[in-house]
Structure 1
């Protein structure tokens, strides 16, 4: 039986002391780390991120929704001609949360 955390029922219960459970899930950590590697306000297209991470569109969408709900990722939908386009970027809050996560992890690892 898993316990419910403030981040929701699918957040890992074993995130560890001080580790953000929203970021701690392996797939979301990969998403956030990838977005954090982009300079400043740069965005990446959904299909490109999907390709980089080797994730299905549905799986990536699910994790992006959790990150978006937490305020860590901004999703911008538009059209290029008649084709829908989705672009993603890490918000300042997401970047700060990732840096805090990294610092906490470094401290825990010694």
Structure 2
């Protein structure tokens, strides 16, 4: 089940469709919800990917992922994968060899 709810980020209000809106919640769905849980989800994913990139040291890196917005315990949250659901995370890493050609070392 999904529902459109008002969400606020730094004073800007918009609407988002959320899934998993079922049963009683601590916050009514007619109230503006904070985007903090979604931001924290994105930050956690980005932090882990950044750590991996520091290890493999690509010249370029890109990531694409999609989050489903979910209400959990009355709070808005980002959901990458749930239960048997399929998640999407596309990571592209590229090594151009430019450092080797320009005389730079792998430890720059």
* Shorter-chain TM-score above 0.5: no
TM-score, normalization by structure 1: 0.26
Task: Tell me which protein shows more helix as a share of its residues.
Answer: 1
Task: Tell me which protein shows more strand as a share of its residues.
Answer: 2
Bigger radius of gyration among the two: 2
TM-score, normalization by structure 2: 0.27
